[in-house]
Amino acid sequence: MAEIDRSLLGVWGPDTTMRVEAGKIREFARAVKDPNPAYLADDGALAPPTFLMTIAHWMRDLGETRSAVKLDYRRLLHGEQEFEYVRPIRAGDVLRFRSRTRDVFEKQGRRGGTMTFIIGETEFRNQHGEVVAYMRNTAIETADAVKE
Amino acid sequence: MSEGGSERFAEGAAIPPFVVENLTRTDLVRYAGASGDFNPIHHDEPFARAAGNPTVFGHGMLTAGLVAKCITDFVGAGNLRRYKVRFATRVWPGDTITCAGRVTRRYEDAGETRIDGEVTATTQRGETAVTGTFSAAVTAA
């Protein structure tokens, strides 16, 4: 069973910087097989829709994110991922992001055992202080080790 | 489509498929580096086998990225307002992934014409790897 600290639900973690770089946008666009010229522009290249996944390069140690849930990664599934796009994100932007656990709830699995659903949310602001995007994910901790 | 926009984005309109043939291990490694997701289950064969898998398998978000290309080829880069994916089954090296979808709703919101749509990524085995929904701004012709 997941260890849940309900006092941390909804509490934002610390701000972290994420620099949006033209080379990284190109690399990411190529990785998702998308040669759209908007992503390859010399100036102000646009970030592709799932580019914010590159946050992994900027995140600090998990211990610093004040997650409300202690997760067992051997039993963790990525259930859903959602992006809300508020303003364009372009090469040269300096984003500040912060994360929180929005909700945690349990459901009975079809094959028995309790599944814990953890809804996380990350807010991104640009160098002008404007919100540019929200990223939300649903992680599922299964009762047993993940099997096919 | 003589008038362009209005029929293209009509409710029920099909989103042209984007097909990736023969997904390779190199594709998985490239996505790992680009995204920063270095879970070894996606590139380290002995690790993946020890965890009970026949081989390495693709990042769910790689497939979601391919589906996003399918959508933005249709609505234009920079026009997505929301995109949500659910991961169903896994994709393996050698798989052919077909991304496709359809428009489910057309409406006005926040001063722009928008559409909602649903999308899927399916493998050559007919399995659904990813399902998704999106909202996008479209230029009504």
The helix/strand count (H/E) of chain A reads as 1, 7
Instruction: Please state the CATH superfamily assignment of the domain spanning residues A3-20+62-141 in this structure.
Output: Hotdog Thioesterase (3.10.129.10)
Taking the Cβ of residue A36 and every Cβ of chain B, the question of whether any pair is shorter than 8 Å is answered with yes
Instruction: Compute the mean pLDDT over every residue in chain A, rounded to the nearest whole number.
Output: 88
Contact across the interface for A80 and B85, Cβ inside 8 Å = yes
Contact across the interface for A31 and B34, Cβ inside 8 Å = yes
In a domain, B18, yes or no: yes
In a domain, B15, yes or no: yes
What band does A146 get if pLDDT is binned at 50, 70 and 90?
low
pLDDT, tens only, A12-24:
989 999 999 999 9
Give the total number of structural domains in chain B: 1
Name the DSSP letter for residue A90.
Answer: B
In a domain, B53, yes or no: no
Q: What is the mean pLDDT of each run of 10 residues along chain B (141 residues)?
A: 67 98 98 95 94 95 98 98 97 98 96 97 98 92 51
Residues of chain B with Cβ-Cβ distance to A88 below 8 Å are: 78
Identify the closest residue of chain A to B84 by CA–CA distance.
A82
Q: Which of A38, A54, A80 sits opposite B86 (nearest CB)?
A: A80
Contact across the interface for B65 and A56, Cβ inside 8 Å = no
The residues, ordered by sequence, that sit 6+ positions from A31 with a Cβ below 8 Å of its Cβ are: B27, B30, B31, B33, B34, B35, B62, B65
| Domain carrying residue B73 | 5-24+59-137
In a domain, B33, yes or no: no
In a domain, B91, yes or no: yes
Taking the Cβ of residue B116 and every Cβ of chain A, the question of whether any pair is shorter than 8 Å is answered with no
Two tokens, residue A18? 């994420």
ipTM of the complex: 0.94
Q: Which helix (H) or strand (E) holds B20?
A: strand B14-20
In a domain, B116, yes or no: yes
How much is the pLDDT for B1? Answer: 42
Q: Where are the beta strands (DSSP E) in chain A?
A: 3-4, 16-19, 69-70, 76-85, 94-108, 114-125, 131-141
Two tokens, residue B56? 């390495």
Taking the Cβ of residue B24 and every Cβ of chain A, the question of whether any pair is shorter than 8 Å is answered with no
Tell me the domain boundaries of chain A: 3-20+62-141
Do A81 and B64 touch, CB atoms closer than 8 A? yes
Taking the Cβ of residue B121 and every Cβ of chain A, the question of whether any pair is shorter than 8 Å is answered with no
Is residue A2 over pLDDT 80? no
Residues of chain B with Cβ-Cβ distance to A79 below 8 Å are: 86-87
In a domain, B68, yes or no: yes
Q: Which of B35, B37, B83 sits opposite A49 (nearest CB)?
A: B83
CATH number of the domain to which B79 belongs: 3.10.129.10
Residues of chain A with Cβ-Cβ distance to B80 below 8 Å are: 49, 83, 85
Does this model's pTM top 0.80? My answer is: yes
